Structure formats: structure tokens, C-alpha cells
Amino acid sequence: VYARFNDIKNALKGLGKVYTNHELVNKILKCLLKTWEPKVTAIEEAKDLSTLPLDDLLGSLMTHELRMNDQAKNEPKKKTVALKGSKDEESDKDKDEMALLTKRIRRITLDKK
């Protein structure tokens, strides 16, 4: 990801658009996924973004990513249980829902009259 970001940054520099370190840090923090929000908030509160070097930011993010991957590997896999339903149960459920819907429609119709 950093290589792609660096390529874009260098291409823009070639076109005459130069970003400050502060702008680059903000752009990286804003483009991260929602799952990174706690880390972004921690960085914003703990560090001065106007003086934070881009390499320090990327190192911090890479460290966090490695830690998240390790935690995901070490978490025990959750077992899920699926119950098989019969067609009779499904039709009973459908009948109950239809009866409830019919009652609601009757009430609405009677209220409007």
C-alpha cells in the first residue's frame, strides 16, 4: 500500500503538486478502513500530526497491522451450530406470519372506515 501511495505522491510531484508531510499524514489516516478507527484516534490524540514524520506513521500502522494479524491467528475458532428445519416448521412459521399480517391489515382497514 505504501508503494502505491508513494507512486501517486511522486507522480503528483512530477505534475507540480507537492504535499507537505502534514497533508500526507492526514491523507493516509483518512483513507484507512473503519476497523482502523481506534488506532487512528489514538495516533491523533497521542502525537502532533503537524510534526509526525510519515515514516513513523507508517511504522506505527504496520506494527498495529502485524499485531492484529497475530491476534486473529491466536483467537480460538468459534464453533457454530446450525439446526436443520423441516418443511412443516417453515410452513407453520409462514402461516403465523400470514395470520399476523392479515390481522394488521384488517385493523388498518377498520380504522380507516
Q: Which segment of 31-35, 50-54, 83-87, 92-96 scores lowest on mean pLDDT?
A: 83-87
Please check whether residue 30 is in contact with residue 16, taking contact to mean a CB–CB distance below 8 angstroms.
no
Number of domains in the chain: 1
Residue 80 domain flag:
no
Residue 79 domain flag:
no
Average pLDDT, the chain: 84
pLDDT of residue 3: 84
**pLDDT band, very low/low/confident/very high, at 86 (cuts 50, 70, 90):** low
Structural domain containing residue 24: 1-74+93-107
Residue 60 domain flag:
yes
Residue 86 domain flag:
no
In tens, the pLDDT along 46-80 reads: 999 999 999 899 999 999 999 988 888 887 777 77
